[in-house]
């Protein structure tokens, strides 16, 4: 149990380098939040559900449900100083809650198996784009299908996981923190460059208008649930990621302030992503409501038609890859931290075993999107979609509910850990007790098809 006074958990963590600096944590959390969710999912879902009105709902969902749960997950991690499962036990002494926390660990592991596939695609597209071969003619749909039906995605997934492993092996402060401190500023520069370029395209104005001028008649119950789910995913909630990161946050850091910074950073990133994608699609007369293929099939066509297209296209995919890698690192850390403490292994061993397991399960996922295993169907879905479905639509909302209910009803000292008192504490509790659980439950019922 507790060591002597003065030798608190803080010094334990500092010794092994298992602690973020204050700024380092903000970078790492932004790195986790900003990812394929913002640049790949957000634009096509926004396009599909009506542009500006959807964006307004996304912002509301970020504030009303994602932010309170974000603070709650960080508090669980920092209060429990354990992994995404053991932290619950340390705070409550209950095996039930420990097992419930494990759902998030499982979600992170499963999500990484296919997230690393898509991250691998972005790496491949970045290379192809810079080398010019992406634009050497041919139909982009065919190119995408030819690539995903070959074995190449397995190689690129391997590269992705190897990079993540390399970062995780170096530990929290000299690995995860450092990696994000280098990549996030790089990402911001590329993001702004591409935005300026997109806004200067002739006809860009129509895209800006579509994205930022809300038409509230387009709001439906379905689009509201989509916005909530996306806000949740985009803030890396329901996967143990913020609980795990929370355990590396210094005691003196304000969780509320950090959460606002991360939420704000994530929102600005989504805003700029929209200001790249919608002006580009509108300038080239492309429908933004294209679905998942938007960035891999539709955007290359736009880049190929603009001056210095292979440069800008290459930069775009580098941006996508950087966002994906920083998120994938945070996903890998969740099961790694679990395996490490569950079986008392070194960080190195835990990270290697977890990565291998993820790769083994990830290969079928990589080969099932048009590849040799695309004919295997489970409940009518290919392996990739099935893992996505189970992790994103079932495990993620359940893990989100676990955090919300635990902080709202079970753990009495959560307010102290989060540093919230008085008015803000009351608001936080109301949101966590009554608002978030109901909304998360609705997302769950809707995304599993129990409710239409």
End-to-end Cα, the chain, rounded Å: 49
119 Cα distance to chain centroid: 12
* SS3 per-residue string spanning 268-312: HHHHHHHHHHHHHHHHCCCCCCCCCCHHHHHHHHHHHCCCCHHHH
Give the one residue of 55, 156, 179, 233 binding ligand PHE; rule: CB under 6 A: 233
Residue 38 makes contact with ligand PHE by CB under 6 A: yes
Count of helix runs (H) and strand runs (E) in the chain: 23, 0
Stretch that binds ligand PHE, among 32-40, 78-86, 92-100, 163-171 (CB under 6 A): 32-40
Residue 259 makes contact with ligand PHE by CB under 6 A: no
- Token couple for 124: 């491949």
Number of residues that bind ligand PHE (CB under 6 A): 14
For the CA atoms of 212, 218, 223, 227, the dihedral, rounded to the nearest 10 degrees, stands at: 20
Residue 37 vs 263, nearer CB to ligand PHE: 37
Residue 30 makes contact with ligand PHE by CB under 6 A: no
Binding mask 282-321 for ligand PHE (x = CB under 6 A): ----------------------------------------
If you ran DSSP here, which 8-state letter would residue 72 be given? H
Residue 241 makes contact with ligand PHE by CB under 6 A: yes
Residue-level length of the chain: 452
Residue 105 vs 204, nearer CB to ligand PHE: 105
Residue 36 vs 183, nearer CB to ligand PHE: 36
Residue nearest to ligand PHE (CB): 37
The span from the CA of 168 to the CA of 335, in Å, is 11
**117, 366 Cβ separation under 8 angstroms:** yes
Residue 35 vs 50, nearer CB to ligand PHE: 35
**Contact set for ligand PHE, span 371-430 (CB under 6 A):** none
Binding mask 329-348 for ligand PHE (x = CB under 6 A): -xx-----------------
Stretch that binds ligand PHE, among 27-35, 116-124, 151-159, 247-255 (CB under 6 A): 27-35
**158, 121 Cβ separation under 8 angstroms:** no
Closest approach, Cβ 324 to ligand PHE, in A, equals 7
Closest approach, Cβ 219 to ligand PHE, in A, equals 23
CA distances from 185 to 5, 27, 206, 245, 269 (A): 40, 9, 29, 20, 12
Give the one residue of 24, 31, 35, 314 binding ligand PHE; rule: CB under 6 A: 35
Residue 33 makes contact with ligand PHE by CB under 6 A: yes
Closest approach, Cβ 243 to ligand PHE, in A, equals 11
Which ranges of 40-151 does DSSP label H, i.e. alpha helix? 42-48, 52-61, 67-80, 86-92, 95-131, 140-148
- Token couple for 403: 């955090």
Residue 239 makes contact with ligand PHE by CB under 6 A: yes
Query: What is the contact surface with ligand PHE in residues (CB under 6 A)?
Result: 32-33, 35-38, 233-234, 236, 239, 241, 327, 330-331
């Amino acid at each position: 149990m507790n060591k002597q006074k003065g030798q608190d958990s803080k010094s334990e963590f500092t010794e092994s380098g298992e602690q973020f600096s204050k700024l380092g944590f903000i970078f790492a959390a932004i790195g986790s939040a900003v990812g394929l969710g913002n640049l790949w999912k957000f634009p096509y879902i926004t396009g599909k559900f009506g542009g500006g009105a959807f964006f307004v709902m996304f912002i509301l969902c970020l504030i009303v449900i994602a932010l309170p749960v974000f603070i709650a997950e960080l508090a669980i991690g920092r209060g429990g100083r354990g992994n995404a499962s053991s932290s619950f036990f340390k705070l409550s002494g209950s095996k039930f809650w420990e097992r419930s926390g494990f759902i998030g660990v499982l979600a992170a592991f499963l999500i990484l198996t296919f997230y690393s596939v898509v991250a691998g695609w972005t790496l491949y597209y970045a290379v192809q784009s810079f080398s010019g071969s992406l634009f050497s003619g041919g139909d982009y749909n065919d190119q995408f299908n030819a690539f995903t039906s070959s074995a190449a995605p397995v190689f690129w997934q391997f590269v992705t996981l190897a990079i993540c492993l390399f970062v995780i092996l170096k530990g929290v402060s000299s690995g995860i923190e450092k990696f994000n401190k280098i990549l996030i500023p790089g990402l911001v520069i590329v993001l702004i460059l591409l935005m300026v370029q997109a806004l200067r395209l002739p006809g860009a104005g129509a895209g800006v208008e579509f994205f930022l001028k809300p038409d509230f008649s387009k709001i439906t119950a379905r689009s509201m649930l989509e916005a909530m789910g996306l806000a949740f995913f985009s803030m890396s909630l329901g996967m143990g990621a913020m609980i795990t990161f929370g355990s590396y946050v210094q005691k003196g850091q304000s969780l509320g302030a950090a959460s606002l910074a991360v939420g704000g950073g994530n929102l600005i990133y989504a805003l700029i992503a929209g200001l790249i994608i919608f002006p580009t699609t509108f300038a080239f007369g492309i429908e933004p409501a294209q679905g998942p293929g938007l960035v891999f099939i539709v955007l290359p066509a736009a880049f190929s038609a603009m001056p210095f297209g292979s440069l800008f296209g290459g930069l775009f995919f580098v941006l996508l890859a950087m966002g994906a890698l920083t998120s994938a690192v945070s996903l890998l850390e969740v099961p790694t931290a679990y395996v490490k403490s569950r079986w008392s292994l070194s960080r190195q061993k835990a990270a290697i075993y977890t990565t291998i397991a993820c790769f083994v399960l990830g290969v079928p996922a990589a080969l099932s999107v048009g590849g040799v295993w695309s004919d295997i169907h489970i409940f009518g879905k290919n392996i990739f979609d099935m893992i996505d479905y189970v992790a994103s639509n079932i495990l993620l909302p359940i893990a989100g509910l676990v955090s919300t209910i635990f902080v709202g009803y079970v753990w009495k000292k959560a307010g102290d850990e989060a540093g919230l008192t008085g008015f803000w504490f009351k608001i936080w509790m109301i949101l966590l007790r009554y608002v978030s659980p109901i909304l998360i439950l609705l997302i769950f019922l809707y995304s599993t098809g129990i409710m239409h």
